[in-house]
Structure 1
Amino acid sequence: MPPTLLVLIPLAVENRASIAAAFDIVDASDPASRDQAIAGHGERIRAVLTNGTTGIAASDIERLPNLELIGALGAGYENIARDAAKARGIVVANGAGTNDSCVADHAFALLLAAVRAIPVLDRACRDGVWREQLPMQPNFSGKRLGVVGLGAIGRKVARRASGFELEIGYHNRRPQPDVPYEYFDSLMALAGWADYLVVTTPGGAATQHLIDADVLEALGPQGYLVNVSRGSVVDTAALADALAHGAIAGAGLDVYEGEPAPPARLAGSERVVLTPHVGGRSPEALAASAALFVENATRHFAGQPVLTPV
């Protein structure tokens, strides 16, 4: 009999089918059904599938006495109670690498849309407003792009930037010897140097409000910010103030504090482009993440190490 899997997130039909071939699935994609599922099936659940946003709490892990594996679709795992899992010897794995290209693509879509004011120009054109009545937007190419967090996604952002003839710098906990980009040991220094700042660092307590009022001031009135990491990394109030007072030129956000509700102080601003945390979502990325979860689970239940442990 296949292991029982508790699924805490919605799944596309085709991805659910591929996972169902390896598991006996118990669906629980909202808090009420989750409580019912754990109460009714907790003893036989051996694996959980979630994501970084939904996660799983220590109190729920405690109610699953036979849990062995927690998988996260996508790279994020910030809301998985890893300490509780570790204390029980429960393996935690994520979908690292499966949506990197999708997120990097989306980061550039946001940056181009913000710098060239694409949403504003689209609305103006539909309303019959011609170009002479609108402010000109700057060239996109030939500028300086700073990457905050040169992990797998950050590296793909940097590679895409070279196609736009952008000079590339980055800030990381430590320099990466295998890349040709300029390293900044201070985030403030990177922000002061850059025209564009793209945030691809992990979320969590260590990066809470990493992008604050001081960083935005350093980025300056010609600068643009893009965040495709986690909403908690950017101080929403500080960003709203910076946009309102022209401290920076614009921003593109796929993630923001208080998801899923759009940030009220930003929603009315023409200086910001907002998308609803879809940077890593594409049919290809989700299929790859589901396949990696099945591979990790197959390896785990065969007594082998998972490919992408957290």
Structure 2
Amino acid sequence: MNATFPSAPCGADSAFIQSDALAPLRVLIAAPRGFCAGVDRAIEIVERAIRLYGPPVYVRHEIVHNRFVVDGLRAKGAVFVEELDEVPDGAPVIFSAHGVPKSVPDAATARGLDWLDATCPLVSKVHRQAERQIEAGRHIIFIGHKGHPEVIGTFGQVPEGTMTLVETVEDVASLPFTQEDALGFLTQTTLSVDDTHAIIEALKERFPQIHAPRAEDICYATSNRQAAVKVIAPQTQLVLVIGAPNSSNSMRLVEVAERCGAQAHLVQRATDIEESWLEGVTTLGLTAGASAPEELVREVIARLSQWRQVTEEQVVTAQENMVFKLPRQLAG
């Protein structure tokens, strides 16, 4: 626990100190929070590629969903594009941590581009599972959010028409399959643990024959961050989640906090916080999505300290020691 106290001028009387003191605010900081191993790896891939090739290095899609991180890499020489045809001939290109359809590296190879794959290994694991499900003759029910880059990338691993997306329990009821069909399911790695469990139970009830993956697809970091919020949120009146609105795992943290009875706000930077949010708040929870750096956590604490006497408490619910290898081109 780290406590900070407002200073008073030498010789100030007690009445002055009391009237000038900031109201206390207890801040419960979730641990784990922030960067996961997949994000660490993706950022390091971009930074090493810039050193290896020299700028500019092109990145297809935001390397991770965080504007602060993307802007920092852009300042070092990364150029972010949405499609491969925006990459000039002869330029190196990196694929984002969310994964890409098979057609993207195939097209890069056909053009003779040097490319690096920053896909999170846990997303790549889902890709390989999808291939095995199709090889086994099953149609895949994929639980995820329509339009998310990870979903697009996973659908792009298998032939068109062999995978169907569901987003809610209600979607399960409208699936055009029977108990005679060979089916399997997979999930996006950054979903709500509770929502996904409910969808899986609905799938198993309607299709008892459905084939489940050997292990849960939701990644360890997503699960751990949601579990931490479940611990701190019931003790707070407000939870702040540092993350981007297009970050699936960050948005799920907001939902988890709200379900635990706390108000919750997603903030990208400390300047997004409004002092009025703190009215009636004596205990505040703070966490960060898997793409948000610790620097932004400290930035938020500094802003809160402008208005309140902040006491920080780390609430540790898990230890994370995962490390992923770099692509062989950058190893060493």
Larger radius of gyration: 2
Q: Comparing both chains, which one has the higher relative contact order based on Cα–Cα distances under 8 Å and sequence gaps of 6 or more?
A: 2
| TM-score where L is the length of structure 2 | 0.29
| TM-score where L is the length of structure 1 | 0.30
